[in-house]
Amino acid sequence: SFCTPYLRVLPPFFDDDNYLNCMRDTLTESLGEGGSEVDHVLFSFHGIPERQCTATDDSGEVCLKRPDCCADLQRENRNCYRAQCYESARL
């Protein structure tokens, strides 16, 4: 018998106001108001296999089909981790 933990899957929260406010407050505390205490901010996100990104594109027309596939969040890439990372950094 296996001991399988209970899993609760959350919907994407990259653009959730509570998440963004928390990130803003944390960054402001570290970087100063408006980033006044730093020259640059580097965002780093973990990677996932490209096939996991392309599997989220139901149309098969957007994800990794053009160089700017994550330039804007749209219906076709709304579940793509890479697109969500870019959107989080923009917000």
Count other Cβ atoms within 10 Å, centred on residue 86.
Answer: 20
Give the closest residue to 35 by CA, choosing from 24, 44, 19.
24
Q: What is the pLDDT along the chain (91 residues), one digit of tens a residue?
A: 678 888 898 888 889 999 999 999 998 898 888 887 788 888 888 888 888 888 888 888 888 888 888 888 888 888 888 889 888 888 7
Count other Cβ atoms within 10 Å, centred on residue 70.
Answer: 21
pTM of the model: 0.71
Tell me how far apart the terminal alpha carbons of the chain are, to the nearest angstrom. Answer: 45
91/86 Cα distance (integer angstroms): 9
